[in-house]
Structure formats: C-alpha cells, structure tokens
Amino acid sequence: MNVVVVESPAKAKTINKYLGPGYKVLASFGHVRDLPAKDGSVLPDQDFEMLWEVDSASAKRMKDIADAVKSSDGLILATDPDREGEAISWHVLDVLNKKRVLNGKPVKRVVFNAITKKAVLDAMAEPRDIDVPLVDAYLARRALDYLVGFNLSPVLWRKLPGARSAGRVQSVALRLVCDRETEIERFISEEYWNISALLKTPRGDEFEAKLVAANGKRLQARSVGNGEEAGKLKALLEGAAYVVDSVEAKPVKRNPGPPFTTSTLQQAASSKLGFSASRTMQIAQRLYEGVDIGGETVGLITYMRTDGVQMASEAIDAARHAIVDQFGERYMPEKARFYSTKAKNAQEAHEAIRPTDFNRSPDRVRKFLDADQIKLYDLIWKRGIASQMASAEIERTTAEITADNNGQKAGLRAVGSVIRFDGFIAAYTDQKEDGEQSDDAEEGGRLPEINARENLAKQKINSTQHFTEPPPRYSEATLIKKMEELGIGRPSTYAATLATLRDREYVTIDKRKLIPHSKGRLVTAFLESFFTKYVEYDFTADLEEKLDRISAGELNWKQVLRDFWKDFFAQIEDTKELRVTNVLDSLNESLAPLVFPKREDGSDPRICQVCGTGNLSLKLGKYGAFVGCSNYPECNYTRQLSSENGGEAEGGAQNEPKNLGTDPVTGEELTLRSGRFGPYIQRGDGKDAKRASLPKGWKPEDIDYEKAMALISLPRDIGKHPETGKMISSGIGRYGPFLLHDSGYANLESVEDVFSIGLNRAVTLIAEKANKAPGGRGTPAALKALGEHPDGGAITVRDGKYGPYVSWGKVNATLPRGKDPQAITVEEALALITAKAGKAPVAKGRAKPKAKAAAAEGKAAKTAAKPKAKAKAPAKTKKS
C-alpha cells in the first residue's frame, strides 16, 4: 500500500477512487508549516535560517500521515503543480524525515494538471523527484515577504500611527491605486466637439457620416476645441452639397483570443460576472477539484493558477473534434492554433485554464452545478473552444464624402461592418441545432447601398459638446492586468494581494472601483518619500524575475537574499533618525491636493479659517492622521483628512463648520462639521458642546435645520407605556436605531423609525422583544450548506449574534473579519473547525467522564479521611 498526499480532502476522495485499494490518499489541508508571525522567524545573521512552526491542526494531520507512512510501501507526494504545491510537498517530506518514519521507503513526486482518471494515472506513471530550484524560489519569496513585512511595518507603526502594515507586493499594488487617484485629482478637463451629418441616399436610405477634414486640414480626435469653431464648421455643412468620393469594402479577419490564464480569467469574471478575484478562484478551485456528475466526481477544468496560454496537444485535438460535432466542419480551421504569452516573466511550463473534456458543454453539466459554478464554467468552456475555432470574416465598408459650400470644402467618413462568417463568434452565441450560423450578421452596424459619385441629401447636422474625462479608477480586473503587464506578483498572489488591501482598509470598493482610503495614501506617500526604491515598479518586477531565475536553477536563492537585505537593512536603520515632524513635512507636500484642497473663495487652503492665523498641517493621532491647527490648544479646529472616496471630505461635507441655525431652547448655534470620524452636528462650542454623528445613509449635503434639530434632540420621548407607566424613547446607538423602555432595548428597522414611530407600534415591538425565548433566537437558519465533514455530519454557514460562523455538530467557528460567508470553501471551513475544536474549553458544569469520576473518587476519599463535623451553632441574630 502506498500513501498519496494531496492538498484538499475533496481531491483526496476523488483520487482514491481513481487509484483503487492499493493506495491510501490523505489530505494535508494546504500548508502544514508556516513562519510564526513574530520577529525572529527568519535570521539574516544565520544565513537566513528559517524557523518553521506546525500549528495544532496541522500537527494532527501530519501525525495521521506519519502513522499511515509507517505501515506503507512508499510515499507519493501529489500536491498542486506550481511553486506552492512543490513547497507543500517539501514541507511534508521534511516533517516526515524529522519524525524518522520513512526508513528508506521510496518517495516520489507526481503532478497532474487535471483531476480526471486519465490525468491522474498518467501522472502516476511518470514520477519525479521534488524540484529543488522551485522550492528554493518559494523559500526566497517567503523570506523576502517576511523580511519586508516584519521590518517595514514596525517603522510605519512608529512614524505613521494608524498604518496597519506594508508588504513587498502589496505596497506596490497600493501605489498603483494611489498614483491613479493622484492622476484623477490633477486632471484638467478639456472641451471638444463632435460634428456629424445625417445623410440620405437617392434610394431613401439614411446613414451618419462624421466630419474628418475641413478647409484642407485633417481633423484629429478632439481637435475642434470650442463652440465658436464648432459653429463655423456646422454652418459650412448646413449649406453644403454632398457627393460620394469613394466606397471601399475590405475583407477583415478577426482571430480568437487564447484560453484563459489566472489573470485573464479573473478579469473576464469581474467584467462579465461581477465576481471578485478571490470569489473567482474559490469557484475555479471547486471546478478543478471535482464535481459530482451523475454519480461520478470529475474535475471539470485544468489547474487554475497559471500564466501559460498553450493547451496540451491532446486537448487541442479534442477541442477540434468538439468544434466539428457542435458547430460544423467550416468552423474548424485547417491548422491548429498555438499561442504564446505576452506577459512579463511568464512561466510557460503551465497549461492554460481549459475544460478537461470539451464534450462537456455548459448545457450538459448545467444541472450538476450551482449558479456561480455554471457561469464560470460557461466562460471557461467558451473561451477554450473558441481559441481553436476559425477566424470571423468581416466586411468593413468605408465611404468617403465631400461637402462643398461655395468652394469651402469638408470631408466626412461613414464606416460600417458586416460579419460574413461568424467563425469563433459562434461559441459566444446560441448554437443552432445543425451547428450552422447565419451569415451576414451585423457587427457595429452596416451601411446602406452607397455608390461612388452619387449625390446625397442632407437631413440634419449634429454638433455635440464633450469634455475629456480623467483616467478611470482601477477595478480589481484592471489592476491585476496592470500588475501582470509590469511583472509584479504572480498568478497565485493576485487575489491574496487585493484581499490584503481591503482587509487593511487601505482601499475601499465602490461600484467595483478601487478607491484609496486616506490611510492607504498616507502609507504610499511615506514609502515613496523614505523607501522609494522598494515601491518602484521596475525594482519589484526585477525581483520577481530573480525569483523566476531561482526556480529555473540560474541563481542562488541565498545570494539573492543577501543582496536584498544589505541595502534594505541600511534603509531601515536610516529611518530611526527620522523625526515625526520630518515625516509630516514630507507628507504635507506630497499629499497637498488631499490635505489642503482648494477653497471656493480662493483663500490659502493652509490657513486655518477658524482662528485666521494658524497654519493647517497633518497631525498623527491614535486612530491615524487628521488635519489640525498649529495654534492648538487655543484653536482646537480639526477635520478628518479625507474619506473613502478619495480626496473629498466625507460625503461632500464642508472643511469648515457650516451654520444651520439656532436652537430655540438653548440659543446655541447648530453647525455641520467634518471630523476625524466623519460628519456630525454640533450644538454650541467648547468641551461641553453636544455632538451627534450623521447616521449611516445621511449625506451632509442633505442636512438642513430641521434634520439637524431632530438629530441633536435625541433621544426622542414617544410616550408612556400603558401598563408600566414608564417612558418609551427612541435613539441611535452604537448598534443602530433602538427603542428604550425600563432599561430594556428593542431594535428598530431604520433610522427614519427613530423620528416617526408612534406609541402603539413601539409598545408592540417591546412586547415582541419580551416574548422572545430567553437566551436568544435559537439556532439561526443556515446561510449555506458546504457539504459533509470527513468524520460525518453536515457543515453549514450561519449568521449569529456576533457575525457569521461555520457550524459542524456542536463546534461553531467564527469566520475571519471581512470574510464573505457565501465565499467560504469547505477546506477553509474544515481548517476553522479543526482549529476551534482543538481550543474548545470544557463547558461549565460538564466535566469529562474520566475527570468527573476522578473528582468523585477524590471527594469520597477526603470525606472518609475527615472526622465528623460538629453540629453547627445556631446563627446569631442580627441586631436591628
């Protein structure tokens, strides 16, 4: 019997079926060791020795693997076919060697790109040794990331309070987002005009032609820059006669794109399906590891962490046969297509992401997949089969037209396209039963019949004003594309890098756009000022290239670390001399548009408008950066640096207090202000002034006197309870809107209810709360079923009082902060459950059986040894 080690339990079950009784397949559940998250895990002074740690859950799994290996004939390491997979195999082998359980037994390494019976059996027939250079590249990457994170982050904490962490790839990705925001802030919009003519042929057909030349000059895009110039050109066209100079029809071919890589799949899933990068990878992982298809668990796609675009020759043959079966002979090109990647430093050894069987069309597997799985599989299948289909044949027609107004001439152009043969486009449209597609499909609109030298009638002249727009903010998809272009990061790191930026609250996502938070911009500005080299795109890309060269056996990994550490350590040491004032002065300059936005009245944005004499500057507090006056404490003016939407104040709030009116009872002024924690209403001045934060959903620009008075007057008395005679009031607290009665609380559905709820409804809600079963709501309904635990019993995701958690039997494990409960995988859930079960304390009043028996025996022994107690004296009477 041979022991086979894979990464996930789902994969283990499937592969065990393929291999049969001569094998025992066990899961490592990902990495079995990691560097402890503390200083001293990588030791540069000891030639970068790395001190690994096995957590309790992994220790139990490694014990199971070790016990199985003791009684086996050999060990087969079958983890994923990439750098991380190679590293996991190396870790497992190293731990087993330290346990001394191998005793000379053969150890083999196998890799398969797909979880299918053929792929697994073929891999077993071609074992190899562990790829040492690939492991060295992993060790170098892990050490570099550790050394940067655990040496740079403390510098941030000391010099930039409120910053969370810095990372080798994470900080460069953040810089991309922040640099784009700076571009947007500095962008100056320019006016331009587009001019076109609606014309009619002698046969009565209308079409539009755009102005491309006037008075002998060719007009470039946006070359008509103002209304006056546009008006002159419109006048020329209004009184002109039109004649067709030429009509040219050119055949054009459109070729399909290559199959998906990790980054292109993430980009397509984001733009077409709205999936985040991490969500895409979770769904792809499930499709790769296997889905139950009519009683058989089958991997539907090949391995999903790759930057290669080529397909295996047998896959190309299978795709070509499927094209003939499903679309017809005409859709298969004479020769197979071969692709090469354009990505910087791509690892060509990996195959592209494709279906494991092209005959499994989306329609055939739809009933076995959930909604998200079929969407992603559909995307992968269509892209894969289209990559081997015939080119689309398009006829592009261009008509050149002259407008003549008494010798003043202008040129116009009309363009239309017609698809004569759809080719690979057929994969993205509904297939007909006979596999044929209709010819002459339109692409971008076709022109009517237009003949050279014929006159045209003018119908209408259109002149439209436009303004140039700033470059768009990055989405997850476009940021991944940019990182890939620059050679930053690798397929396995993209999703994790983006998740870190969100978790650290360095960026926020609004309508799928990445917006740098103020703390993210501060960190980037700090690193650009004092660690310039380490956030440069070329430097990071060069380091990635060195890591790839290590994996190819061309560089020594320890030497790469030595070269990096020498300069990096010196830079860290230099920052010890930095004063916080130096840091703030630098940030004031580099972030001037963010810190000191222009004022409408044109006054100096660096002068405090409250006291009129103090200079505004960045200040650092316990919760991060804010803007304050240099005349503190005489002038206590402060405001938040910015909000999640970039450089503007929160929700558009004014930088200075906005007077809303006077409280009729106290005579104090009501003002709308923007503070470090967001916009708020303040009544009066000084330390005793009453303040009330704007509730979620309330925008500063919508706040008027009535809303401000309602908010500052909370809590609101609703009326006395008819049974208790005690007042019921409403308010807004830390956990949202509420009712208060007799020291008890009841939740309200919305902020509006706080100001509008009547006595009858309030009494009903209080009664409903009181009638609820003591101790809570019972077991919450399952949000998602994940499947069966290897030891039996269902694993579910539920939403509890303190947030979402995974549940198995009596074990409940809270999800990490920010984790989407719908996105968690069964592997992640198992890890959480295992970790929780290992730490679970014995419930109060429920001793373990053995402990309980021992306690009882001990108690009996003590009782027997003690002399009988004397009768108690009567209790003393308490004096009145």
Residues involved in catalysis: 303
Tell me which residue of 323, 394, 309 sits closest to 361, measured CA to CA.
323
Strands 2-6 and 74-77: parallel
The count of C-alpha atoms lying within 13 angstroms of the C-alpha of 598, restricted to the half-sphere facing its C-beta, is 5
Beta strands, E only, 71-205 = 74-77, 107-109, 191-200
CB-based contact 12:96 (threshold 8 Å): no
Whole-angstrom distance between the N-terminal and C-terminal Cα of the chain? 85
CB-based contact 408:253 (threshold 8 Å): no
* 3-state SS record for 696-712: CCCCHHHCCHHHHHHHH
CB-based contact 530:188 (threshold 8 Å): no
The answer for residues whose C-beta is within 8 angstroms of residue 25's C-beta and 6 or more apart is 3, 4, 5, 6, 12, 13, 15, 16, 19
- Beta-bridge partners for 510: 513
Neighbours of 538 (CB within 10 A): 11
Beta strands, E only, 441-492 = 441-442, 455-467
Q: What is the DSSP letter of 505?
A: T
Tell me which residue of 83, 85, 77 sits closest to 124, measured CA to CA.
77
| Phi, psi angle pair for 33, to nearest 5° | -140, 155
Tell me which residue of 776, 696, 680 sits closest to 735, measured CA to CA.
696
Structure tokens at 481: 């594309």
CB-based contact 807:814 (threshold 8 Å): no
Q: Measured at the alpha carbon of residue 492, what is the angle toward residues 833 and 64, in degrees to the nearest 5?
A: 40
* Separation CA 25–CA 95 (nearest Å): 18
The answer for residues whose C-beta is within 8 angstroms of residue 145's C-beta and 6 or more apart is 167, 168, 169
* Separation CA 210–CA 382 (nearest Å): 36
Q: Amino acid identity, residue 719?
A: G
Structure tokens at 757: 């709820």
Q: What is the DSSP letter of 675?
A: E
The answer for residues whose C-beta is within 8 angstroms of residue 424's C-beta and 6 or more apart is 254, 255, 256, 331, 386, 387, 389, 390, 391, 392
Structure tokens at 154: 């403390």
- Beta-bridge partners for 42: 50
| Phi, psi angle pair for 470, to nearest 5° | -65, 165
Distance of CA 65 to the CA centre of its chain: 35
Strands 2-6 and 23-27: parallel
**SS3 label, residue 599:** coil
Separate counts of helices (H) and strands (E) for the chain: 24, 33
Placement of tokens 């087969």 in the chain: 76
* Separation CA 103–CA 87 (nearest Å): 22
